[in-house]
Structure 1
Amino acid sequence: MSSLTSNWSRLSAKLKSSKKQKQDRHSVSHGKVKKTKKIPKNETTLHTEIVEKAIDNVIKEESLLFSILWANEGYITQNDLQNRTITLPSGSNLNESRKTAPGKYLAVDCEFVGVGPEGAESCLARISVVNYYGYIIYDKFVKPTEKVTDWRTWVSGVTPKHMKDAVTFREAQEEASKLFDNKIVVGHAVHHDLEALFLSHPKHAIRDTSKFSEFRKISKGKTPSLKKLADHFLNIKIQSGEHSSIDDARASMLLYRLYRKEIEQQYKLKRSN
């Protein structure tokens, strides 16, 4: 954002100059009206507008996930998704202990960095946990247990500077274990996140959006990506650039709540067989 601010300061002078040229478009020369050529829009201005629009869209999509989760109780319907008005909690609303407490359902997502030769192996670098209403219960960067050979910032969003206040793996593991105890854990391919934390969780208390039959239909029975599910079922764009484990956790929770009844029925059938 600092680069955008500096761009605007440089652009302001250019915009004033452009405005003056527009006013003098019809200038008099030797008694004749001379038309000046139309000045094309400055390329830097176009680039800045494109970048700002992209940032606004990302912020809007991220806020929309939280807004829908927070505003609705119980099941979420397609009608609820049609309301694209973003209303985020603030002030006294955030004091609603019922909505800010961990509760029964928690969604988790992790980000990873590359370790080993060419960064081919993955190592935990961030864990985010949100509750039923999308409220952030836990969000910490984690110090990798091995030397990082590829930060994968373009996709993980993790950089070396995030390690300044990062917790140790042991701390993250212990905190996550306490949070997940006696909870329903929601996530997309959530076994990867649990494995990264070296944690186990009862199968009957896991709700994995990657395994729900209705979701798998759009990928012909294969495991669909969370990005694809969010786009298809929520009409919300995620993972447009660097991933956010908070947004991914919220997307998983929103998908679960949208099909909660059907997902619970599917899990009951599996347990009875």
Structure 2
Amino acid sequence: MGTKLKKNSNKLQLNPNWAVLQKSLSDHGRRPSKHSVDHSETLTTSILGKRKERSDSKPGDSQSSTNNPLTPVNDDFSLTDAVAMDCEMVGVGQGNRSALGRVTLVNKWGNVIFDEFVRPIERVVDFRTQISGIRPRDLRKAKDFSMVQKKVAEFIKGRILVGHALRNDLKALLLSHPKNDKRDTSEYPPFQRQGHRSALRHLAASFLNVEIQSGEHCPVEDARAAMLLYEKNRKDWEKLVKDQIRLKQKQKKRKPKKKTKQGDDLHDNDATTAT
């Protein structure tokens, strides 16, 4: 009896550190259940996930939609008070004359409201693919020029038209637009360097920190860049336009003074003398 008690007491007096070690060894050998969660793995994944979302891309790097300023911020495709337009040209005649090959319109948020390939009236001899991005297959089912011209005219009527070198786009469309309603990024004084016009890709790099036109031109991207340049400077730009309009109106109101002829003065003096 005394011997049994002695054995039991020795068992109860097991070193606690040894018990902890035995438990950890048994847990290590046990296979985890399907529903068990490895908290260390979860923590590692969350930390790495945050690092992955962080982007330090530069204008020359490939940009995701999350940090590209040209990506629309909403899904509103309504026709707004300002629309931006960009056109791509193809070569006709002997290839030295330009004809409309594609036209794109975006609203003030950069969402596309019109984008069509156009079948020129004349035969295309140079698709200028390296710049225009247009290929023969794109024009096989393209819209007729007259239909596209009519639709564009409806979209821009009574609205602010934004773009770069708009005179070329409007010339290709055989359309006109009121000067006071045009916002051309190639003509806005703060965008010019020593009085010289800058290319749209240079403006996008300098003012938007984004690279465009590195290869084939994308009219959607170009129109969005022009619109964003306008929206970022809209307040000052509109003030400049209003000041210019006000100055022209003042100049028109000023009536030039009539110059009296010397012969008329002599005639008046003779009449006074005779009286």
Interval of TM-score (by shorter of Structure 1 and Structure 2): 0.5 to 0.7
Separation (CA, whole Å) in 1 of partners of 2:155 and 2:201: 26
- Determine the structure 2 residue equivalent to 1:127: 103
Separation (CA, whole Å) in 1 of partners of 2:69 and 2:119: 28
- Determine the structure 1 residue equivalent to 2:89: 112
- Deviation per residue, 1:106-155 (Å, 9 max, x gap): 000000011122x1111100000000000000000000111111110000
SS of equivalent residue, structure 1 residue 111: strand
Count of matched residue positions in the alignment of Structure 1 and Structure 2: 189
- Which of 100, 112, 117 is the aligned partner of 1:136? 112
- Which of 150, 153, 162 is the aligned partner of 1:177? 153
* Larger Rg belongs to: 2
Contact 1:61 1:237 (8 Å CA) reproduced: no
Superposition map of 1:2-151 within 5 A? 57=61, 60=64, 64-67=68-71, 70-71=72-73, 89=74, 94=75, 99-117=76-94, 119-151=95-127
- Determine the structure 2 residue equivalent to 1:75: none
Structure 1: segments with no counterpart, 5+ residues:
1-55, 72-88
Give, as a single letter, the amino acid of the residue that structure 1 aligns with 2:156: F
Separation (CA, whole Å) in 1 of partners of 2:151 and 2:186: 25
Q: TM-score, normalised by structure 2?
A: 0.65
More helix by percentage: 1
1:266 is displaced (CA, Å) by: 1.4
Separation (CA, whole Å) in 2 of partners of 1:128 and 1:189: 14
- Which of 185, 193, 208 is the aligned partner of 1:234? 208
1:165 is displaced (CA, Å) by: 2.3
SS of equivalent residue, structure 2 residue 121: coil
- Deviation per residue, 1:230-264 (Å, 9 max, x gap): 01111100000000111000000000011111111
Give, as a single letter, the amino acid of the residue that structure 1 aligns with 2:118: V
Structure 2: segments with no counterpart, 5+ residues:
1-59, 248-275
Separation (CA, whole Å) in 1 of partners of 2:87 and 2:62: 20
Contact 1:209 1:255 (8 Å CA) reproduced: yes
Separation (CA, whole Å) in 1 of partners of 2:185 and 2:205: 14
SS of equivalent residue, structure 2 residue 192: helix
- Deviation per residue, 1:49-70 (Å, 9 max, x gap): xxxxxxx955637982443xx3
1:248 is aligned to 2:239:
no
Separation (CA, whole Å) in 2 of partners of 1:262 and 1:147: 44
1:168 is aligned to 2:144:
yes
Q: Which runs of 4+ in 1 moved over 4 A?
A: 56-59
1:269 is displaced (CA, Å) by: 1.6
- Determine the structure 2 residue equivalent to 1:210: 186
SS of equivalent residue, structure 1 residue 129: strand
Q: TM-score, normalised by structure 1?
A: 0.65
For residues 63 and 187 of structure 1, do their structure 2 counterparts lie closer, same or farther at Cα, with a shift above 3 Å needed? farther
Contact 2:87 2:219 (8 Å CA) reproduced: yes
- Deviation per residue, 1:58-114 (Å, 9 max, x gap): 5637982443xx33xxxxxxxxxxxxxxxxx5xxxx3xxxx2201111000000011
> Which fold has the larger relative contact order, with Cα–Cα distance below 8 Å and residues 6 or more apart in sequence?
1
